[in-house]
Amino acid sequence: MNRSRRDMMSGIGAGLALAGMGGGPAFAASRKIGYAIVGLGSYATRQIMPNFAGCDQAKLVALVSGTPAKLAHYGDQYGIPATRRYSYADFDRIRDNPDIDAVYVVLPNSLHAEYVIRAAQAGKHVLCEKPMAVSVAECEAMIAACRKAGKKLMIGYRSRFEPYNRLAIDLTRGGHVGPTRLITAEHGFPAQPNQWRLDKPLSGGGSLMDIGIYSLNAARYLTGEEPVEVSAVESTDRADPRFRTVEDRITFMLRFPSGIIANCISSYSSGHNGYRVIGTQGWINMEPATPYSGQTMTIRKNNVTAPRTLPAPAKNQFAGQLDHLAECIMTGATPIVPGEEGLADLRVIEAIYRSAAEGRSVRLRA
Amino acid sequence: MNRSRRDMMSGIGAGLALAGMGGGPAFAASRKIGYAIVGLGSYATRQIMPNFAGCDQAKLVALVSGTPAKLAHYGDQYGIPATRRYSYADFDRIRDNPDIDAVYVVLPNSLHAEYVIRAAQAGKHVLCEKPMAVSVAECEAMIAACRKAGKKLMIGYRSRFEPYNRLAIDLTRGGHVGPTRLITAEHGFPAQPNQWRLDKPLSGGGSLMDIGIYSLNAARYLTGEEPVEVSAVESTDRADPRFRTVEDRITFMLRFPSGIIANCISSYSSGHNGYRVIGTQGWINMEPATPYSGQTMTIRKNNVTAPRTLPAPAKNQFAGQLDHLAECIMTGATPIVPGEEGLADLRVIEAIYRSAAEGRSVRLRA
């Protein structure tokens, strides 16, 4: 793969691998990577921060927020001393704090690029929430900045650390229901008014940036392919005050090199969470597919439909994600969802928007 | 509606209504409309013909086939005398047989237009299997021929006579799960080789003509709207001997005037049979949606998912369809699925093929 080759050629992977391997596996187990959380919104405080408790290799060591009351509240709750509570104004001082190994950027989308680049420049590894940024150009700048700094960059695609999604990938690529012919993927929720998500300068776009990206990312990770053609249709009621600047519904079809077509939905005015892989011998259905918990898999094969269950995981997807970057930092490995993965989604997202706007299919390089 | 106005203006409806009403409701009950079945393939012999037994107003009185052995076999089975068994060469002689009120054309698609027009010219009402024909131009000629002859023309959209589909229409249009935002519809099956369906001169097209039309038709009957924009992507392995002349997979998005988007699948290499109506408060799911029997409805509303069951119908969809045209003939009413309904599908089908071929969305008149 290009990604691996590039890492090897740049020496980043090799260098960090040596550093991380210094103490062998025992070293990895004895030390935890310290994270600073940047942005104390609902997702950070309700989903991410409580899950450090389940991590083997990651710990919460610092907080960054523009709201002093939040810094005080969550700092006290998680035992983060005042010396590791930062405002955005003094964000760059994280450089001087050796307890902070990595920064998790959980800000509104349009701020991702700036804070990822500043974090890399401060000498920190970075986990960045999806969507990676609001444009391909920003993604490329973020990747370049982290590479220049010799730091890891990973995107918060938590489903890749969720056992049912991992099984769905294995079953799909293994041809469990025959070669894949079609994929459907639907993600959406009725957006509440007055959120940064509905403000294009902050979000960079509507439902596609926020929730539809799960449909897109699933189509890519299930197939393991990159789409070569994108066709999209948008439907937005601009009279709805929620949708003055961002799109509501956008549906898109992706054609992959193997011939697989994915039909995808993204919506801010209806509830969806699922995907289905349809092969020549049946299908693999996930509904819900990408919630915080409660994934449900059903498989139809040779005309028999049955649920497929897994044991509850020892580590949930949030802890799995935090530990993965920690492990990569310690071993020098490349994250399974590096910046290039976020960039790949943004390339398709830009093509989706262009297709919908211009009423034509958009070709992408294979 | 244009359709009703046209009937009234032409006087066809009124004239037949008077004729049919001659004996009042008792007349309708005492007389059955006689059907000739044209084409004794699997669908006609296994699905349609056995269901005359459940009809109140329709009976099987004649057979038309190019295969003498089939005429003998089915003629004997259904007690059709030799005087009411026709070859294609002497098809036009049905004109002289007053026992035949209506003709049900169950031939390969590209023969529909010719036999519908000949039936009308022979003074018979017509039920024509879907797809109505292989082009808009043929549909228009068929409608004109039936109008000129003063005969009914109905298309075999059996799902419109199936109780779960009727309920789905009522629930959708009644806003049971809130205003509709999106629809998904999937139809497909792995095509067996060496069938007329795979021979474009006979079929007029691939999966879309045969099975994908159910996705399209469902999107139209659930919304009650006509699409204004169509965008399609095709994926066909032309090295597969089944797909030398016709398409395998074709997926399409329809945008409706109200803003609803339908994401549809048509496939000849994977199994699909379902649709889902997604509203602001939940969804109505049908899977399977359009089989010969066994429709299954599940509704999610306000975060509760539950099956919705109906009593077994007194009359199945096949008998319902045959009786409906009979009733229309007797009362002068216009069928709920007249030629115009088949034409509307063909307009969209032509747009779907054009969109896939040209890589652009195709606008349709509202």
pLDDT at B16 over 80: no
> Which of A308-313's residues contact partners 24+ apart within 8 Å by CB, and which partners?
A308/A167, A310/A163, A310/A164, A310/A167, A313/A162, A313/A163
| Closest alpha carbon to A275 in A172, A357, A137 | A172
Please tell me which of the candidates B186, B272, B361 has its beta carbon nearest to residue A233: B361
Please state, in angstroms and rounded to a whole number, the distance separating the CA atoms of residues A180 and B298. Answer: 26
The percent of residues above 90 in pLDDT, for chain B, comes to 90
Amino acid at B203: S
pLDDT of residue B296: 98
Query: Are β-strands B33-38 and B102-105 bridged in parallel, bridged antiparallel, or unpaired?
Result: parallel
**What's the whole-number average pLDDT of chain B?**
93
pLDDT band with cut points at 50, 70 and 90 for residue B1: very low
Please state, in angstroms and rounded to a whole number, the distance separating the CA atoms of residues B232 and B207. Answer: 13
Same domain membership, residue B110 and residue B16: yes
DSSP, residue by residue, B306-350: EEE--PPPSS-HHHHHHHHHHHHHHH-PPPSSBHHHHHHHHHHHH
CATH for A29:
3.40.50.720
Same domain membership, residue A113 and residue A185: no
pLDDT digits (tens, 9 = 90+) for B110-165: 999 999 999 999 999 999 999 999 999 999 999 999 999 999 999 999 999 999 99
B76 in contact with chain A, both atoms CB, cutoff 8 A: no
Please compute the mean of the pLDDT values over residues B34-53 and round it to a whole number: 98
Same domain membership, residue B165 and residue B153: no
Same domain membership, residue B121 and residue B21: yes
Same domain membership, residue A329 and residue A240: no
| Closest alpha carbon to B270 in A298, A300, A59 | A300
Please state, in angstroms and rounded to a whole number, the distance separating the CA atoms of residues A208 and A187. Answer: 9
Please indicate whether residue B268 is annotated as part of the active site: no
pLDDT at A7 over 60: no
Go through B293-326 and write b for each residue having 16 or more CB atoms within 10 A of its CB, e for each that does not. eebebebbbeeeeeebeeeebebbbbbbbbbbbb
Please compute the mean of the pLDDT values over residues B227-242 and round it to a whole number: 98
Same domain membership, residue A283 and residue A167: yes
Contacts with B, A 205-234, CB within 8 Å: 229, 231-233
Please tell me which of the candidates B190, B263, B360 has its beta carbon nearest to residue A280: B190
Nearest CA in chain A to B254: A233
Please compute the mean of the pLDDT values over residues A300-328 and round it to a whole number: 96
pLDDT of residue B365: 85
| Closest alpha carbon to B326 in B18, B132, B102, B146 | B102
With CB atoms and an 8 Å threshold, state whether B231 touches A361.
Answer: yes
pLDDT digits (tens, 9 = 90+) for A155-208: 999 999 999 999 999 999 999 999 999 999 999 999 999 999 999 999 999 999
Q: CA angle B213-B216-B221, nearest 5°?
A: 115
Please state, in angstroms and rounded to a whole number, the distance separating the CA atoms of residues A343 and A138. Answer: 9
B176 in contact with chain A, both atoms CB, cutoff 8 A: no
Choosing from A59, A130, A151, A200, the catalytic residue is A130
With CB atoms and an 8 Å threshold, state whether A282 touches B271.
Answer: yes
A273 in contact with chain B, both atoms CB, cutoff 8 A: no
Please state, in angstroms and rounded to a whole number, the distance separating the CA atoms of residues B266 and B251. Answer: 6
pLDDT of residue B30: 62
Please tell me which of the candidates A186, A249, A259 has its beta carbon nearest to residue B235: A259
> Distance (Å) from the C-alpha of residue B103 to the closest C-alpha of chain A?
36
pLDDT at B358 over 60: yes
Q: Look up residue B120 and give its two tokens.
A: 């009308």
Domain assignment of residue B342, yes or no: no
Please compute the mean of the pLDDT values over residues A92-104 and round it to a whole number: 98
Amino acid at B165: N
Same domain membership, residue B121 and residue B61: yes
Nearest CA in chain A to B190: A280
Q: Look up residue A304 and give its two tokens.
A: 């028999």
Same domain membership, residue A292 and residue A195: yes
Query: Contact A59/A52 with Cβ under 8 angstroms?
Result: yes
Query: Are β-strands B272-279 and B261-267 bridged in parallel, bridged antiparallel, or unpaired?
Result: unpaired
* Complex prediction ipTM: 0.90
Please compute the mean of the pLDDT values over residues B221-226 and round it to a whole number: 98
Number of structural domains (chain B) is 2
Chain A partners within 8 Å of B235 (Cβ): 255, 259-261
With CB atoms and an 8 Å threshold, state whether A184 touches B233.
Answer: no
pLDDT of residue B13: 34
How many Cβ atoms from other residues are within 10 Å of residue B197's Cβ? Answer: 21
Same domain membership, residue B216 and residue B93: no
With CB atoms and an 8 Å threshold, state whether B182 touches A267.
Answer: yes
- 3-class secondary structure, B138: helix
pLDDT band with cut points at 50, 70 and 90 for residue A30: low
Please compute the mean of the pLDDT values over residues A237-265 and round it to a whole number: 98
User: φ and ψ at A95, to 5 degrees?
Assistant: -55, -35
Chain B interface mutation, best of A172, A183, A251, A354, highest count of B Cβ atoms under 10 Å: A251
Chain B partners within 8 Å of A211 (Cβ): none
DSSP state of A242: G
A361 in contact with chain B, both atoms CB, cutoff 8 A: yes
pLDDT of residue B219: 98
pLDDT of residue A10: 36
Work out the end-to-end distance of chain A between its first and last CA atoms, rounded to an integer number of angstroms: 14
Size of interface A-B (CB pairs under 8 A): 119
CATH for A176:
3.30.360.10
**What's the whole-number average pLDDT of chain A?**
93
pLDDT band with cut points at 50, 70 and 90 for residue A93: very high
Same domain membership, residue A284 and residue A146: no
Please indicate whether residue B43 is annotated as part of the active site: no
B255 in contact with chain A, both atoms CB, cutoff 8 A: yes
pLDDT at A12 over 90: no
Please tell me which of the candidates B253, B260, B360 has its beta carbon nearest to residue A253: B253
pLDDT at B6 over 80: no
CB-based contacts of A243, cutoff 8 Å, min separation 6: A198, A206, A236, A237, A268
- 3-class secondary structure, A326: helix
pLDDT of residue A366: 66
Same domain membership, residue B130 and residue B203: no
Please state, in angstroms and rounded to a whole number, the distance separating the CA atoms of residues A135 and B293. Answer: 49
Please state, in angstroms and rounded to a whole number, the distance separating the CA atoms of residues B30 and B293. Answer: 29
pLDDT band with cut points at 50, 70 and 90 for residue A5: very low
Query: Contact A101/A19 with Cβ under 8 angstroms?
Result: no
pLDDT of residue A365: 85
Angle subtended by helix axes A12-20 and A2-10, to nearest 10: 70
With CB atoms and an 8 Å threshold, state whether B182 touches A261.
Answer: no
Please tell me which of the candidates A249, A253, A270 has its beta carbon nearest to residue B233: A253
pLDDT at B22 over 70: no
DSSP state of B123: T
Nearest CA in chain A to B264: A263
Range of B306's domain? Answer: 160-310+347-363
Same domain membership, residue A130 and residue A47: yes
Query: Contact A245/A200 with Cβ under 8 angstroms?
Result: yes
User: φ and ψ at B185, to 5 degrees?
Assistant: -145, 130
- Residue holding tokens 């629930």? B171
Query: Contact A263/A184 with Cβ under 8 angstroms?
Result: yes
Please state, in angstroms and rounded to a whole number, the distance separating the CA atoms of residues B220 and B255. Answer: 11
pLDDT at B202 over 50: yes
Q: CA angle B156-B158-B163, nearest 5°?
A: 155
